Amino acid sequence: MTQPKFLIIAIDGGAAAGKSSTSRGLSERFHLMHVDTGSFYRATTLKLLEAGIAPTTDYALVAGLQSLQLDTAISGNNASITINGWVPDESIRSQKVNDNVSHYAALPELRAFLLDYQRSQVQVARDNGFNGLVMEGRDIGSVIFPDANLRLFLHADPEKRAMRRAKEGITDSIEKRDRIDSTRKAAPLQYPDGAIFLDTSELSLEEVIENVSKIVEPLRFA
Ligand code: DC
């Protein structure tokens, strides 16, 4: 049987737009490595907060970033960042991180620091026998993988997004984060030209995965 083509799928969108559930569903269906880059920004934010480094461009930030050794730990289909051997846990989803992450993610130094690491996940996926990778974030289709085989932009109405977070038992300032993420100078959250726009407001998770799978399927042996 012909080997399926190695696929790079980029999924962008605002907070709670359905990126994680969709990415996870696709990763299972097509045996893709799932990479949640939001967790990279959350984990580095937590480490910088712990080190008392403020979200401003200065020597302390550069030195703080240099002290972070990044690697990857695979668990099932999920690729997690590790920082100096630490595997991020639920602490990266705390209120404190929710409140601060957008300010750190707006720093060009932090984005540059994570750029090559994010791109290097392609090789990790190949080395671990995956059929490709599905990477979710805010700038994956615009900056990290503008040539991805598929670039999706997920949207959901603010009320639906708030409901999804409430169901997960998470208090999150979704709209405030989206405002900061969309208006920053470095790699803002935006709909990249030529990406596929999908409004998930009225769709169940199964319907979203089904719709996207119909787009992915023909790409596999193209
Ligand atoms: O996806 P998330 O809500 O866990 O992401 C946390 C924050 O990280 C989000 O507010 C914006 C930032 N982020 C980013 O700037 N670029 C990415 N590729 C992923 C996340």
pTM score, two decimals? Answer: 0.96
Mean pLDDT of the chain: 94
Distance between Cα 76 and ligand 1 center (Å):
22
**Domains in the chain with CATH codes:** 7-219 (3.40.50.300)
Q: What is the pLDDT of residue 1?
A: 66
Tens-digit pLDDT profile for residues 64-98: 999 999 999 999 999 999 999 999 999 999 999 99
- Summarised one tens digit per residue, pLDDT across range 12-50 is 999 889 999 999 999 999 999 999 999 999 999 999 999
Residue 165 scores a pLDDT above 90: no
Q: Which residues line ligand 1 (CB under 6 A)?
A: 15, 37-38, 41-42, 101-102, 105, 137-140, 177, 181
Provide the percentage of residues in the chain whose pLDDT is more than 90: 84
CA dihedral 147, 152, 100, 58 (to 10 degrees): 10
Q: In this model, does residue 203 exceed pLDDT 70?
A: yes
pLDDT digits (tens, 9 = 90+) for 131-159: 999 999 999 999 999 999 999 999 999 88
What pLDDT does 159 receive? 86
Q: For 209-215, what is the mean pLDDT? A: 96
CA of 100 to the centre of ligand 1 (A): 11
Closest ligand 1 atom to Cα of 20: 1
Model confidence band, residue 3 (pLDDT cutoffs 50, 70, 90):
confident
Question: Measured in angstroms, how far is the CA atom of residue 134 from the centroid of ligand 1?
Answer: 15
Ligand 1 pocket, mutate which of 94, 181, 185, 189 (most atoms under 8 A from CB):
181
74-79: list long-range contacts, CB under 8 Å, 24+ apart.
74/33, 74/124, 74/128, 77/24, 77/27, 77/28, 77/31, 77/32, 77/33, 77/34, 77/130, 78/24, 78/27, 78/33, 78/34, 78/36, 79/33, 79/34, 79/35, 79/121, 79/124, 79/125, 79/133
For residue 102, pLDDT over 90 is answered with yes
- Could you tell me the distance, in angstroms and rounded to a whole number, from the CA of residue 222 to the centre of ligand 1? 32
